[in-house]
Structure 1
Amino acid sequence: MSIEAVIFDIGNVLIEWQPERHYDSVIGQDRRRAMFAEVDLHEMNNRVDLGHPFKETIYQTAEAYPAWRDEIRLWHDEWIKMASPAIDHSVHLLRTLRAKAIPVFALTNFGVESFAYAETQYPFLAEFDRRYVSGHMEVVKPDVTIYERVEQDCGVAPANLLFADDRSDNIAVANERGWQTHLFEHPKGWADRLVREGLLSEAEARP
């Protein structure tokens, strides 16, 4: 089936998202492991991705774990250091697809306020033809509802969508919906897939 639109996840596809790496650099690996074992920070972040207030959600969690209060607050205060740097080759692919008038969408688990902040740091986040941001939709991948709502809104048949995401559970649900998918591991592999699909030439896909 021919591809009519390409869908990018954002975290670890267009922007590196590595909270553990940042905490390791700030408090050391041993303390980071102890904190993550005691506090489910990814569940906290999932609530932000569902549309809960960014700072309030994190600071309330910090107050619930006073031994880790300052460290947990870093999830908000130094968030951009966890969501960095941009993956330049992937950004190049996004922009090259759009320059060829191929519709490009974003489908991302991202909070409302954190996404607005990220836009001030990464201009390419404003360059999608359509953006499906979980915080605004109040549903996160891999809940099937978010995929259904993308289909309904964009009007493209599932078989004509090509979706790149770094998480296999997100990819699995898209596959069940009939989407074409790519499990993102590195930008070169994604570039190669776009070439195989005939969307980009080898020269266009190079950074």
Structure 2
Amino acid sequence: MTGTGSGDGNGLRLCPRTRRLRRAGYALDAWSLAWSEDVTPLPDGPDLAPVAALRALHEAGPVRAVPVGVIGPKAASPRQTEVAHALGAAVADLGLQLLCGGKNGVMEAACRGNAEAGGRPIGLVPDEEWDAANPFVAIPLATGIGPARNVLIARASFALVAVGGGYGTLSEMAFGLHFDRLVLALEDAPAVEGAIRCADVEEVCERLARRFLRLDAG
């Protein structure tokens, strides 16, 4: 995912008239998620940090719901479950769409947190019927392709966040990097060259906001 916007993310403002996110010389189209030249004066108001700018953009009107993938083990530890729940809620708070494998463990905890925060999590289940999804998945999609659905999650997401995990999570992270996705790691997620290990959910949100708004180099 590429765009013409670049830089450190400073100077972001939301134009109330056009409902576009602006920075000096550029405007972001909320549907194509691409920056284009705009030399009109910036609107009055304070500069917004990337996370605040993303929230404001979603509050202003429709934004293309390119999903962020949350991945992790079905047999999750209590700590992984806690972090995944917080992550799911944070994704909803940012206005982003959550996508996961739709099963148990980290996936269920992330879906529960997301749903409780007002999100509608999507689950790409490996099974042949939609009702194999965990009860917090709002949009269950049966793939019938087993573990191969990991490729679909990696390809469909603009970024992946791993909370712990084993070989299955490792494969999703590797596919994500192969597809030039932003891959973030929390807790004891597998160490993969190219993946960025984050200290907490707050750092994940900052990196997701920057990537979604095309403010980083990716």
Instruction: Tell me if TM exceeds 0.5.
Output: no
Higher relative contact order (CA 8 A, sep 6+): 1
Q: Which has the higher helix share?
A: 1
TM-score between both structures, scaled by the size of structure 1: 0.40
